[in-house]
Amino acid sequence: MDKEITQIQIGTARVILVQGDITEQGTHAIVNAANSGLMGGGGVDGAIHRKGGPDILNECKIIRESLPDGLPTGDAVVTTGGRLRAEHVIHTVGPIWSGGGTGEPELLARAYRNSLALALKMGFRSISFPSISTGAYGYPIEKASRIALGSVIEFLEKNKGIDEIRFVLHSTHDLRVYEDALKELA
Ligand code: ADP
């Protein structure tokens, strides 16, 4: 069997695939696959709020005061990391999969791009991403992984200032899917 690709270099930045728990990562920031309410939820969102403590939710509440209708899909905002190892959490909202004909690919790409643009603006040099939208939001992971990696690679090719992007996949299966997608793109 071919050796799986788990790391590539794009200019001065590394893109790394790991299996694990995003709440344990010591990158400068981690990204939360939030929902537009920003009040926590299940999946990775629940895990981040549970481990990070109440300071994250308090900052989300303040952000919501200026976003009465919630955070639009594809946008990103930043809070403290509270008690997490990561100093900051970037909250973004991926699209809910409803067949692929309602702009889901572009919205998913925007969630990655806007998270990265915010990280760059904030001076975060290392960022961990979960597999946005592929849990409760039902986006097929084979499709989502190509968009996730493609958006990140394109951003790193165009922008300097980030040293490491880590994709933290929760299961061995998800890691394999991302490895296959990276092999196609690299
Ligand atoms: P969404 O609503 O965007 O689909 P979910 O949190 O339901 O978000 O799922 C997104 C992905 O995050 C799924 O692949 C899920 O397995 C994964 N996930 C859940 N908990 C964690 C965690 N602690 N660390 C990394 N990934 C996680």
DSSP character string of 16-80? EEEES-GGG--SSEEEEEE-TT-S--SHHHHHHHHHH-HHHHHHHHHHHHT-TT-PPTT-EEEEE
Question: Does 166 sit in the ligand 1 pocket, CB within 6 Å?
Answer: no
How many domains does the chain divide into?
A: 1
Question: Does 142 sit in the ligand 1 pocket, CB within 6 Å?
Answer: no
Q: How far is the CA of 130 from the centre of ligand 1 (A)?
A: 6
Q: How far is the CA of 169 from the centre of ligand 1 (A)?
A: 8
- The pLDDT tens digits for 126-154 are 999 999 999 999 999 999 999 999 999 99
- Please name the residue whose Cα sits nearest to atom 15 of ligand 1: 135
> Domain containing 22 — which CATH number?
3.40.220.10
Return the structure tokens found at 15: 């893109």
Active site residue 45: yes
Q: How far is the CA of 27 from the centre of ligand 1 (A)?
A: 18
Query: Does the pLDDT at position 2 exceed 70?
Result: no
Query: What is the average pLDDT across 94-98?
Result: 98
Residue-level length of the chain = 186
Beta partners for residue 169, in sequence order: 19
- The pLDDT tens digits for 150-183 are 999 999 999 999 999 999 999 999 999 999 999 9
Q: Which residues contact 168 (CB under 8 A, 6 or more apart)?
A: 18, 19, 20, 21, 22, 25, 30, 128, 129, 130
Q: Which domain holds residue 172?
A: 3-185
Atom of ligand 1 nearest to the CA of 137: 4
